[in-house]
Amino acid sequence: MTHVPHKADPPRTERRIAVLGAGVMGVGITVLALGHGLPVLLVDVDEQRLDRARSGIEQELRMAQIMGSLPADVTTGRLETATTTDAVGDATAVVEAITEIAELKAKALAEVSARVRPGTPLISNTSSIPIDELAGHAERPAEVVGTHFMNPPYLIRTVEVIRGVRTGEDTMAAVGSLLTALDRRQVVVRDAPGFVTSRVLHPMINDAARVVQEGTASVEDVDALMEGCLGHPTGPLRTADLIGIDNLVDSLRVLHQHTGDDGCRPCDLLLDKVERGELGRKSGRGFYDYQEEN
């Protein structure tokens, strides 16, 4: 029997992305998609966060275009926002980019899985949570796949793609096609806590913070040595500010829980900064002061 699309269904060749979560990564992924001409529905339960996101997206689009990191000959996609997932049904892909807490991500994926059409990839942008753990909460686990976009997504062209043990071939093909449309290079890895980038980077940042905590060197000196001697492009502690120190702590806790590696237990300095609200660039202060920039 031939399927006749509903009037509300967009043609399957027309991409429409739904992004869940209007935090730093949700905004960055939205900017990347809009800048490549794709319409985006950005969903967040907090209307005030959505208001801030709309303003931030406009600013980041301008900055990305000035920097030449988005195609100059493409009309910016249309942005819609919502506080519920009611309208995700006609999305051709859903990118979940909410807080790095497994229970919240699982709940979001379960909710959208019941709303989207079969065959729609459900992409969890997670830095550490095993994909198969999240896939078990979706109606169709084969449609769940992981990505780990680096911040900011419109500047960093390589994306870590995590294939869960139940992720289907059609889902992998759809994600690859989407990343090609976004002019991103994908590197596919197997499912594991922290995958590759976080499993290597986040414990290293934790150690860098511990060195400062123990008084061995200052924040600036740690970053200068890692940049000048080891070729790290920004230094681990400046990178922590870019990631968000609260996000980093959440990721380290997931890694510690799943691996038992004490090197992944967040050090006291990171925990103290989260308690004081010194979360990095997004809060105006982390290991460095950004208040004049904000």
Q: Which two tokens stand for residue 246?
A: 């609260």
Buried b (16+ CB within 10 A) or exposed e, 76-111: bbebebbeebeebbbbbbbbbbbebebeebbebbeb
Q: Are 189 and 162 in contact (CB under 8 A)?
A: yes
| CA distances to 50, 53, 75, 82, 83 from 46, in Å | 6, 11, 28, 9, 7
Q: 148 an active-site residue? A: yes
C-alpha 89/C-alpha 45 separation (Å) is 17
DSSP state of 230: H
- Looking at 3, 6, 36, 148, which residue is catalytic? 148
Largest CA distance in the chain: 71
- Rounded to whole angstroms, the Cα distance separating 122 from 110 reads 10
Q: Which residues are catalytic?
A: 148
